[in-house]
Amino acid sequence: MEVERDQTVSSPTVPIVDLSNLDKELVARAVVKASQEWGVFQVVNHEIPKELIQSLKKVGTHFFELSSEAEKEAVATPANSKDIQGYVTNSQQDVEDKVDRVDHLFHNLSPPSSIDYRYWPKNPPEYRQVNEEYARQAKKLAEKILGWLSEGLGLDREALFNQGFGGGKKAVYTMKINYYPPCRPQANLVLGMQPHTDIHGLTILVPNEIPGLQVFKDDQWFDVEYNPSIINILMGDPIWMSNGKYKNVLHRTTLNTEKTRMSWVVLLKPPYDMVIEPLMKHTGDGDEAPKFKPITYGEHVERKVRDKLQKRS
C-alpha cells in the first residue's frame, strides 16, 4: 500500500506509517509523532505475511462460529477466576448502557511460563501452530515499535521493552479475540465496547472487514479505516512511562446491524510487580518532573477493574 512521502496521511485520519521505508529515521519520527498526537497509528508493509493473518482470522472465526457449546465450555474462564484467560460470553445480555456486548477469548502467547494450553481451542487442529507463528511475528513488530518509541524519549532502543515491560523473559503477550454479533434494533445506539483506554501497554490489532473501531481525538470520534494490509497499533495506560509524551488513546467499538465484527488483539503487558513510572529517570535525566505517581502494573489493573465494576453498579 502506498502512503505519502512524509509517511503520514494528514488529519483527520489515523496516521499510516510505511515500515518498509528505507529511511528508518523517517519511520521512527512518524511513529513518535503519531504516538504523541493520537496514541494510535496504522502500519503497512510490516513484514507479517498476509497469509498468516488470513489463517489467524480463519482459525479464530472457526472457534467462534463452528465450535460446539461443549468446545467453548472446555476453554471457558472458570467462575471467580482471577486470571483473565479463557472464553467469556457477554454479547447476549440485555441492552443497557455501559455494558460491553462482546464475547471474547483470551490466552497468553509468551513468555512460555505464562502459557496455559487449556485455554487454546483444540479445534481447528491448526489453531495452535497458527497462533504460535503469529505470536513470533507480533513480538518482533512490538519490539521494533518500542525501539522507535524509546529513541523518541532519548533512551536506548531496548529501554522501553526491558525496563518498562520486563524484557523477553517477563513481558507478557496475550491473544484476545473479540466477537461482536450483529445487534438489530438501534444498533447505532449500542456499543460493542464502551469507551476505554487499554489497561495493558501496547495493542496490535487486526479486525475483520466489518467497521467499528473508533478513536477519540480533539473532542471527536474518528472511524479507524479497515484495509487487510493494515495493522493497528494502540498505546495503553502503561505508556505513562513516557511521562505523558505518548498518549493512551481512548477508543470504543460500534456494532453492525447485519454482520458480525471480530478483532484479533495481541496485548503486551508488563509483569504485575513492575512499577510504572517515567523511564527517563533511568537515564539520570531529572530535568522533567514526573507527571504520574509510580504504581505497580498489578495495582493499576486492580484499580481499573474495580472502577469499571463500580460504574456498572
Ligand X SMILES: O=C(O)CCC(=O)C(=O)O
Residue positions annotated with a catalytic role: 176, 196, 198, 251
Least spacing, CB of residue 196 vs ligand X, in Å: 6
Smaller CB distance to ligand X: residue 229 or 283? 229
Q: What is the dihedral of CA 50, 56, 60, 66, to 10 degrees?
A: 70
Smaller CB distance to ligand X: residue 103 or 198? 198
Tell me how far apart the alpha carbons of residues 84 and 106 are, in angstroms, rounded to a whole number: 7
Tell me how far apart the alpha carbons of residues 26 and 17 are, in angstroms, rounded to a whole number: 10
Contact residues for ligand X, defined by CB under 6 A: 176, 178, 193, 198, 205, 207, 213, 251, 253, 263, 265
Tell me how far apart the alpha carbons of residues 121 and 54 are, in angstroms, rounded to a whole number: 17
CB neighbour list of residue 6: distance below 8 Å, 6 or more residues apart: 26, 30
Smaller CB distance to ligand X: residue 110 or 178? 178
Q: Which three cell numbers stand for residue 93?
A: 445480555
**Region at 231 (left for phi over 0; alpha for psi -120 to 50; beta for the rest):** beta
Which residue in the block uniquely carries the three cell numbers 505508556? 239
Smaller CB distance to ligand X: residue 106 or 278? 106
Tell me how far apart the alpha carbons of residues 298 and 177 are, in angstroms, rounded to a whole number: 22
